[in-house]
Structure 1
Amino acid sequence: MNVLQPFASTPLTDQFKIFSDLQIISAEKIEITFQISGPLDKILWPDPAIIESRQDELWKTTCLETFLGSGPQANDSYTEVNCSPNGNWNAYSFSSYREGMSPSPDITVRLKEKSTQGQNGFFKIELLSTKAIAASCVGLTAVIEFTTGEKAYWALRHPKSTADFHDKTGWKT
């Protein structure tokens, strides 16, 4: 499991550890796991979804995210996947760094497993595609909104002076 780092250390972020991992099952199927350890009652969790569906702007509150790049350069295309802990999701294609954003119609996302017990939350997300998924570099990230309204941005690395999940220098190859 990869340890995600908060962009800024705060009294709230210091109480948490977030781990994530990605497993390529096949060219058309990827599983991503997230483990959140800490006082889970301090996290603002999205309301339960009546029907899990594709939704925009999930990143505005607690959201588990994955970025899959076709290459490590800023001008290489990539896909952003958002999955809410309530099962709502979205996937976007980018032609290059923050350019050409459009919904990825060939990818569906499913929150396959969710469990919380004590101070541990575990989430398994499944990506399914009708074509091969490019994943030569990967960004594993999370937005955590706390009940205080504070938001924390977690990633493998934060190479810039601002939190920027789209910056591939913070991804792993």
Structure 2
Amino acid sequence: MHVLIEEPGILRLVYALDADLSRVRVPSSRAGSRTDGLWRHTCFEAFVAPADAPGYCELNFSPSLDWAIYRFAAYREGMLSADLTRAPEISVRRADGGLELDSAVRLHELLALGSARRLRLALAGVVEEDNGRLSYWALRHAPGKPDFHHPEGFALELALP
């Protein structure tokens, strides 16, 4: 996993899935569009918030190139689809031993950053095995069943340029 804030205000997230892909259900590549329910299959997620604010965005990226972005006013409250002027850029590379998904989104379209100097991030992935079983991966899991939205999962902080 690589996370970069590139100029001018681009959040780049690069996910690597190291796995025998014959044992993982990977959605087939398509043209890529806004799609709900990506978490029901193999996908990668990021939750992004200004460091001192309760609101956050949920970003979902599928190896099919489909995506979804939602805004929340607080922990699981006030969910709205984010209206973007430009879809995220997503590319997928498959290789022996896994795949890599590279995504880029404009920060100003995700969040009202105001005077924020830092971002908090929760990074996660859902992997669907060939038998349909889902496993949930995160930089940090909150106690209990997987809940990528939980504030304790926001384990990474980045300075804004």
Using the size of structure 1 for normalisation, the TM-score is 0.79
Which segments of 5 or more consecutive residues in structure 2 lack a partner in the other structure?
A: none
- Kindly tell me: are residues 93 and 118 of structure 1, through their superposed partners in 2, closer, same or farther at Cα, counting changes over 3 Å? same
Give the deviation of 1:152 after TM superposition: 0.5
SS at match of 1:47: coil
Mapped to 2, the partners of 1:42 and 1:117 lie a distance apart of: 14
- Which position in structure 2 is the counterpart of 1:82? 60
- Kindly tell me: are residues 86 and 132 of structure 1, through their superposed partners in 2, closer, same or farther at Cα, counting changes over 3 Å? closer
Q: CA RMSD in A?
A: 1.9
Q: How many residues align?
A: 150
Give the deviation of 1:48 after TM superposition: 2.5
Segment of structure 1 superposing worse, 122-131 or 24-33: 122-131
Mapped to 2, the partners of 1:22 and 1:87 lie a distance apart of: 19
Percent sequence identity over matched residues? 26
Match for 1:55 among 25, 32, 35?
Answer: 35
Runs of 4+ in 1 over 4 A off after TM superposition: 129-135
- Deviations for 1:85-119, whole angstroms, at most 9, x for unmatched residues? 010001000000000000111363221x3111111
- Deviations for 1:21-48, whole angstroms, at most 9, x for unmatched residues? 2101136311100111121111101133
Using the size of structure 2 for normalisation, the TM-score is 0.85
Q: Is 2:7 the partner of 1:26?
A: yes
Superposition pairs for residues 29-40 of structure 1, below 5 Å? 29-40=10-21
Mapped to 1, the partners of 2:108 and 2:49 lie a distance apart of: 17
Match for 1:164 among 141, 147, 152?
Answer: 147
